[in-house]
Amino acid sequence: MNKADLLPAARGDVPADLLLANARVINVFNGCIETGNVAVYRGMIAGVGEYTKALETIDLEGRYLAPGFIDGHVHLESSMLDVVEYARAVVPRGTLTIVTDLHEIANVTGLAGIRYIMNRAQHLPLNVFLMAPTCVPATHLETSGAEIDADDIRQMLKWSNCTGLGEMMNYPGVLNRDEKVTAKLRLAMGRPVDGHAPGLTGKDLTAYIAAGIRSDHESVSLAEAREKLDKGMFIMIREGSTEKNLEALLPLVDEANCRRCMLVVDDRSCVELQRDGDIDAVLRKAIRLGLDPVRAIRMVTLNPAEYFHLQEHGAVAPGYQADMVVLEDLNCPQAVMTFSRGKLAARDGRPVFKTGRQASAKLRDTIHIKEPGRDSFRLSCAMPMPVIEVVPGQIITRYRRETLPVVEGTAVPDPARDILKIVVVERHRASGNTGVGMVAGFGLQRGAIASSVAHDAHNIVAVGVDDESIGAAVAEIQRMKGGLVAVDGKMVLAALPLPVAGLLSGQSLEKTADALTVVEKVAARLGSTLPAPFATLSFMALPVIPELKITDLGLVDVNEFRIIP
Amino acid sequence: MNKADLLPAARGDVPADLLLANARVINVFNGCIETGNVAVYRGMIAGVGEYTKALETIDLEGRYLAPGFIDGHVHLESSMLDVVEYARAVVPRGTLTIVTDLHEIANVTGLAGIRYIMNRAQHLPLNVFLMAPTCVPATHLETSGAEIDADDIRQMLKWSNCTGLGEMMNYPGVLNRDEKVTAKLRLAMGRPVDGHAPGLTGKDLTAYIAAGIRSDHESVSLAEAREKLDKGMFIMIREGSTEKNLEALLPLVDEANCRRCMLVVDDRSCVELQRDGDIDAVLRKAIRLGLDPVRAIRMVTLNPAEYFHLQEHGAVAPGYQADMVVLEDLNCPQAVMTFSRGKLAARDGRPVFKTGRQASAKLRDTIHIKEPGRDSFRLSCAMPMPVIEVVPGQIITRYRRETLPVVEGTAVPDPARDILKIVVVERHRASGNTGVGMVAGFGLQRGAIASSVAHDAHNIVAVGVDDESIGAAVAEIQRMKGGLVAVDGKMVLAALPLPVAGLLSGQSLEKTADALTVVEKVAARLGSTLPAPFATLSFMALPVIPELKITDLGLVDVNEFRIIP
């Protein structure tokens, strides 16, 4: 809208569209709580104070009113939800703005997937800002479905809802001044550039920051986060489904530096979104851990708004977009109502908005595999052989060596010692590329589980006790055109289809979360000892996280950043 | 430079160009002071820490090192200095970045004057960022030399060193949604828009902010500043030559809101710059008044950098421009050395940089007046007549009515009661427009003083005891093509020529300040009782400041915003 249109309502000359009366407003500018009436006009906040005339009035009866929460770093594909369903999941929780790096779908479909999600996000009561993915594919040690080059990034940066450059995971490329990486960074031109620098320290960290990278969400220790903050990075404290850093990093935050800190989720599963919540769950935990509630709210409103230059977001103040959350108890913030652009979007945790969006037929044919042969999953290898060891609750793995039974000249799993076969099948271009190895820690005693969600190239990854089960699991994913599956021999026991790019469900939040719960339970029945076996599985093929990983090109020694021959 | 070039120095692989060793660095991110070595490479900060190799090393022996100060709001023309000399005045004080609204010269020469200053500012050790002037002319109640329209603003916003829209003084235009004003505001598009809202309060203030205006530097009382901050404005606490608000506003600043506050000078005369200093003087005074020194430094570094989106300014950190100030005593910060883009620019208060700039012959013919006739300054008026009353130390005036002696049918001054004649002669287009009135408070007993610096239209303004002196003063300004003058009868007693646009000296800082001191002393000898009579004189023609002012069109009742017939 033309802001001038807002002025008569701000002056009280015309009635507001909506009046939120008797609010205790969280003022993020001064850190105080102020009682007043909030006048909303054409989706914007006209003013806070003694307004009375309005077409509609809601008496908040002294409840707290906070700016809509901003999640400053999330890959929404990790929810396995279409963005419409994602909005249904998070808007009732108070998240009204997300800044998303869509590098998951970009690895499968390139710009087309990014456009698909950004287009579907229009007209939702959720502001979706894009950080243009910089590292697609993440490495040369795997086969992705697409590449994002400097030209693509230049194009995205022209979009009005593209705020900057997404996490620069290729820190070796930055430090070694790789030409392609440098070209991408040069495009940023004063816009925010997100970092991804797990464990980077000392002069390498300094150099990475000197390249213009000004945020990081990968710190796991207090010392790591402190060094990054001291050197000028905004610290995004992450509390996702698999990576939980809040407890370790919260002691970092003090009055002097809190303007440089945010709370983000990075990756959250649909089950967790539905059960525990989104940014609101992080807020509650942070407050439980001792963070002052108003400071916590500033960290998910004004702070990300400033970092991302979102001038009309992050405050309940004149001229800001009317995205607001009503909270009952500031010590345990739970959204009672959320308003998006001045319209009630959710009440008591349930969405009340119409999405007006049909399921799309696009991007539903992205699984292309070459029929595996009889011997595709055979593993003949000198003993002892490398074994990936899962570290519970983390996405790093350990590099172990084990001697395994050999049957007909091929190494076979040993479920008794919890060593299973792991397979990655290239699924973008039907190349037939197949990585085969062994993994410890999944606990399966029968059958196999498989997934087309496998960071970041999203090939098909399967873990199983025998080749027949693995083959059946891969075949079922092919049949579903993507998804998660648990099989026993030839029998499919449970599945969650993810037909959109092999990453996203075509179903509702509720159905998707239910199906994920079921397939995880079935995996547990097969013997899985992991709390979230598919989430763990999805990180087995991510060769930017140490120590031993597997891609369609084979086992990757991450520390040496090479394929093991 | 390409930031990638900085990385080898950041990693310590190549020697730095300059090493500032044993510095106590003010870290604006965490509010702490950290000991370390600062490595500079190609004008940028490569890193802070254990660097040792460098082409040149300066041992700071434990002295403090702060980011170069940023003055977030200044009209540099008020110094009467060419920007080259302005840099010589402020860089030794630690000011290494200014954000300037050049609406003074724009009122005389339009875009040409703005271009003139911005071009001359290149290659100086001072970063000059422009806020495009929005209110030229300031009102329709005076005749300016030029107009800045929306097209001009659109053009300026394309310049890489134009950061946003300058102070929107026309708040009635904003509130009444004047079409031209609205068109200008629409151009801002997410960039900062500075406000100017003296005394605006309540819903009018809310509406003004809702229009997208996010800063103000006109608060004079604590309550006024607090309301503006609470509603979302960045508060620029002003401590200029004529407007001093620091003492009144400093109690506003606390730990929670200080990120929304800055210190600025707005207008500072060359004499004050030379004698007391610039932002450094404001810092010293603020600290003397009780502000924590590190917090004070954040208010003139990180805070303005964030507000203006100056991503490479405001911190001593990797990837930032190497603009730094060495301070001896943090409780009384005085620049011992200043470095601009990694080069020593000043030492012990003296500039050591070459300006490489010749005086320019441009814009030196801007005084065009129609020869005053015999009766031009005659005043025939019914008694009692309106008299402008100067309020010492303020730029507002009072509206008084007095009965004056009448000689040959015309009202004449009454020096015994300190009521003098004031005249404004249009000087851009030789229209012959002349405003004549009476003023109380200058104290002259003989002669006249006159100036071509008269905010904002910069016509010639003169105050005197008799028409002959006034005529001689105006004629001398015409002869000098601009300047300040004190005359007695036909005799010119002292003058400061300001040949560039009638606003700026062609001389050095030292000569200009000396000449200004002399002409002020002479004015005192003529009887002036004001500490800075020419500064006071320059605000007599500013019809946006209450209550009674005078322009070339006549006396202006500012409260009614109209010419008195």
Higher pLDDT, A24 or A357: A24
Q: What is the pTM of this model?
A: 0.95
Q: What is the mean pLDDT of residues A353-372?
A: 87
Quote the radius of gyration of chain A (alpha carbons, Å): 24
| Average model confidence (pLDDT) across chain A | 96
CB contact under 8 A, B4 and A177: yes
In this prediction, residue B361 carries a pLDDT of 83
Mean pLDDT throughout B332-343? 98
Rounded CA gap, B298 and B302, in Å?
Answer: 5
Q: State what percent of residues in chain A have pLDDT above 90.
A: 91
Closest CA of chain B from A324, distance in Å: 16
Model confidence pLDDT, tens digit, residues A512-556: 999 999 999 999 999 999 999 999 999 999 998 889 999 999 999
Q: What pLDDT does residue B357 have?
A: 67
Mean pLDDT in residue range B142-147? 97
Rounded mean pLDDT, B372-379: 90
Look at B241-250, B294-303, B474-483 and tell me which has the smallest mean pLDDT: B241-250
Is the pLDDT reported for residue A559 higher than 90?
Answer: no
pLDDT in tens, A420-449: 999 999 999 999 999 999 999 999 999 999
CA quadruple A190, B21, B302, A177: dihedral, nearest 10: 20
What is residue A308's predicted lDDT score, i.e. its pLDDT? 97
Among the partner-chain residues A11, A27, A257, the one whose CB lies closest to the CB of B30 is A257
Average pLDDT over residues B214-233: 97
Separation of alpha carbons B516 and B529, rounded Å: 16
Rounded to the nearest integer, the mean pLDDT of chain B is 96
How confident is the model at residue B6, as a pLDDT?
A: 97
Q: What is the largest CA-CA distance in chain A?
A: 87
Mutate which: B5, B29, B35, vs A, most A CBs within 10 A = B29
For A87-105, the pLDDT digits (tens) are: 999 999 999 999 999 999 9
Q: pLDDT, tens digit, for every residue of A28-58?
A: 999 999 999 999 999 999 999 999 999 999 9
Which residues in chain A have Cβ-Cβ distances shorter than 8 Å to B318?
206-207, 209-210, 231-232
For residues B85-100, give the mean pLDDT.
Answer: 98
Residue A206 and residue B306: Cβ atoms within 8 Å? no
Task: List phi, psi (to 5°) of A69.
Answer: -75, 145
* pLDDT (tens digit per residue) in A182-239: 999 999 988 999 999 999 999 999 999 999 999 999 999 999 999 999 999 999 999 9
Please state whether the peptide bond connecting residue B133 to the residue before it is cis, i.e. omega within 30 degrees of 0.
no
Q: Over range B69-73, report the average pLDDT.
A: 98
pLDDT of residue A357: 67
Across the interface, whether the CB atoms of B174 and A212 are under 8 A apart is answered no
With 70 as the cut, is the pLDDT of residue B221 above it? yes
Select from B2, B5, B7 the residue whose CB has the most chain A CBs within 10 Å, as the one to mutate to test that interface: B7
- Nearest CB to B203: which of A12, A30, A320? A12
What is the ipTM metric for this complex? 0.94
What percent of chain B is predicted at pLDDT more than 90? 91
Question: Pairing mode, if any, of strands A434-440 and A419-425?
Answer: antiparallel
Test B177 with A230 for CB contact under 8 angstroms. no
Coil, strand or helix: which one is B540? Answer: coil
Average pLDDT over residues B242-265: 96
Alpha-carbon distance B36 to B507, whole Å?
Answer: 42
For residue A24, the distance in angstroms to the closest alpha carbon of chain B comes to 14
* Residues ≥6 apart with Cβ < 8 Å to A159: A118, A130
Smallest CA–CA distance, residue A29 to chain B, in Å, is 6
* Cα distance between residue B509 and residue B79, in whole Å: 9
pLDDT at A412: 96
Summarised one tens digit per residue, pLDDT across range B38-69 is 999 999 999 999 999 999 999 999 999 999 99
Q: How far apart are CA A267 and CA B78, in angstroms?
A: 54
Mean pLDDT of B457-469: 98
* A63: its two tokens: 């409840």
Beta strands in B376-482, from DSSP E residues, in sequence order: 385-390, 397-402, 406-407, 410-411, 419-425, 434-440, 448-451, 460-464
The whole-number pLDDT of residue B242 equals 81
pLDDT value of residue B362: 86
Q: Tens digits of per-residue pLDDT, A299-357?
A: 999 999 999 999 999 999 999 999 999 999 999 999 999 999 999 999 999 999 988 76
Cβ B175–A255 below 8 Å, yes or no? no
Instruction: Compute the distance between CA of residue B448 and CA of residue B467 in angstroms, rounded to an integer.
Output: 9
Q: Between A392 and B367, where is the model more confident? A: B367
Record: contact B203-A32, CB cut-off 8 A: no
- Nearest chain A residue to B231 by CA distance is A317
User: To probe the interface with A, which of B37, B50, B203 has the most A CB atoms within 10 Å?
Assistant: B203
Contacts of A319 in chain B (CB under 8 A): 209-212, 232
Give me the residue from B34, B203, B230 closest to A29, CB to CB: B230
Tokens of B341: 């883009």
Kindly report the length of chain A.
565
- Secondary structure E strands in A198-247: 215-216, 234-238
Of A212, A230, A317, the CB nearest to B319: A212
Nearest to B207 among A10, A30, A34 (CB): A10
Are residues A2 and B186, on separate chains, in Cβ contact within 8 Å?
A: yes
